[in-house]
Amino acid sequence: MAHKESVEDCKTIAGQSSESLSSSIQHNMQVTTFTEDLKDMTLHFQIIQLPRQ
């Protein structure tokens, strides 16, 4: 299985611009994305970690 991770993937999956991603980082929100290439399909995962209130 291949493992790919990039900010571009994050922008595409989240549908956010780099400006809104920068804003998210300033508010301690972490977005982790990765792609898994399986036999006949590709899975895109996005994990969003929000700060505690």
**Rounded to 5, what percent of the chain is helix, strand, coil?**
30, 35, 30
What confidence score (pLDDT) does residue 29 get? Answer: 81
51 vs 53 pLDDT, higher one: 51
Q: Can you give the residue ranges of every domain in the chain?
A: 2-49
Question: Which residue(s) pair with 42 in the sheet?
Answer: 37
pLDDT band at 53 (very low <50, low <70, confident <90, very high): low
CA distance 2 to 14: 21
H helices present in the chain, as ranges: 7-14, 18-26
| pLDDT tens digits for range 6-47 | 445 444 444 444 444 455 555 678 889 999 998 899 999 999
